[in-house]
Amino acid sequence: MTEKIGILGGGSWGTALGILLAKKGMEVDIWLRNKRQVEDIKRDGENKKYLPDVKLPANLNVTGDIEKAIRDKKLILLATSTQGIREVLSRNKTLFNKEQVIVNVSKGIEVGSLKCISEIVKEILPENKYAVLSGPSHAEEVAREIPTTIVSASVEKEVAEYVQDVFMTNYFRVYTNPDVVGVELGGALKNVIALAAGVSDGLGYGDNTKAALMTRGIFEMARLGEKMGGNLNTFSGLSGIGDLIVTCTSMLSRNRRAGILIGKGYSIDEAIEEVGMVVEGIKTTKSAYELSKKYGVDMPITRELYQVLYEGKSVKESVPNLMGRDKKHELENIVSIEDLKW
């Protein structure tokens, strides 16, 4: 299979997927907003800012011309930050044609509208086929061909399978799933829990604490996801618990790294500057907190993190607050207490 593919966004993930596709023989154009960065990548043969020491294939083209990246392409990959996707699509709407498949690989929820990226795309490009590609997948590892599994989700089976075929390699295994809402929310919400796990690390807490945050965090993610129309089973898969594990435990995770810095006393701005890349979980925490109120879902970890990030609460108060909550049954979030027969 050889396809013409445009990638909007040349950060670490967009670049890594561009490398993967180019190695498969695809014709790939990656668009970057920063013209200086385009020049640097062309000169160096690598994206030193976001993916250093990984050489780009000769057939991978980097451009500052967004029309070149969109025109005459069969598939368009959205790899810009979540909060910038609406602006990029709206400004360049006339460049798209309705036959193009739009594939999102960003992980977040739009601040203000509280919309998932699928909803933004549907609003701006209502006639285009859509899929989301998500799962435990550090760009640095994919670019070096380290075995990775991920999921392609679309409401149309043939679209999910088409995306599966485009991206599948002997080191990049792609599963399919019809649950677009669940897959998108899993990818977005796990960044909130990863930030909290990082804060815990920054405070000097141990593995016990992180395991608790991850386990209770997946409950929060699944409960909100189900209320918003997602399938509970999705959250036990690659885009749920799988992505949560890798993002909470790895130092390649920008959300965990930012959380560590915040736990050590850095401000949000200082943490973002130190990480040097977009930290999606910071804005997603705000959106997730507002969604929890909108849908009436109790999300104590998300609430505590929101108060730390946006209300000036001390991080040292958060863990005691979580530990001192009223006694509860572990299974109350997935079955009613009345159904339990002891």
What average pLDDT score do residues 156-171 get? 98
The average confidence (pLDDT) of the chain is 93
Flag whether pLDDT at 335 surpasses 60.
no
Strands of the sheet containing 75-78, edge to edge, are: 60-63, 27-31, 4-8, 75-78, 101-104, 129-134, 148-153, 172-177
pLDDT value at residue 152:
98
pLDDT value at residue 2:
86
Which residues partner with 149 through β-bridges?
A: 173
Confidence of residue 331 (pLDDT cuts 50, 70, 90): low
Flag whether pLDDT at 333 surpasses 80.
no
- Smallest Cα–Cα separation from 164: which of 72, 101, 216? 101
- Smallest Cα–Cα separation from 96: which of 117, 71, 61? 71
What distances in angstroms separate CA 208 from CA 39, 100, 201, 204, one per listed residue?
A: 47, 47, 11, 12
What distances in angstroms separate CA 3 from CA 101, 176, 287, one per listed residue?
A: 11, 20, 36
pLDDT value at residue 332:
60
Pairing of strands 46-47, 75-78: unpaired
The percent of residues above 70 in pLDDT, for the chain, comes to: 96
What average pLDDT score do residues 65-90 get? 97
What average pLDDT score do residues 194-208 get? 95
* 101-125 residue pLDDT tens: 999 999 999 999 999 999 999 999 9
What average pLDDT score do residues 283-291 get? 97
CB atoms within 10 A of CB 238: 24
Helix, coil or strand: residue 75: strand
Angle at which helix 207-227 crosses helix 180-202, to 10 degrees, equals 150
Query: Residue 149 and residue 291: Cα distance in Å, rounded?
Result: 29
Active site residue 190: yes
Q: What's the pTM? A: 0.93
φ, ψ (nearest 5 deg) of residue 7: -120, 120
pLDDT value at residue 337:
41
Contact by Cβ (8 Å): 233, 175? no
What average pLDDT score do residues 329-334 get? 62
Flag whether pLDDT at 325 surpasses 90.
no
Give me the residue label for tokens 């013209």: 35
Which domains does the chain show, CATH number per domain? Answer: 4-178 (3.40.50.720), 181-329 (1.10.1040.10)
**Which of 190, 210, 283, 286 is the catalytic position?**
190
Give me the residue label for tokens 């920054």: 202
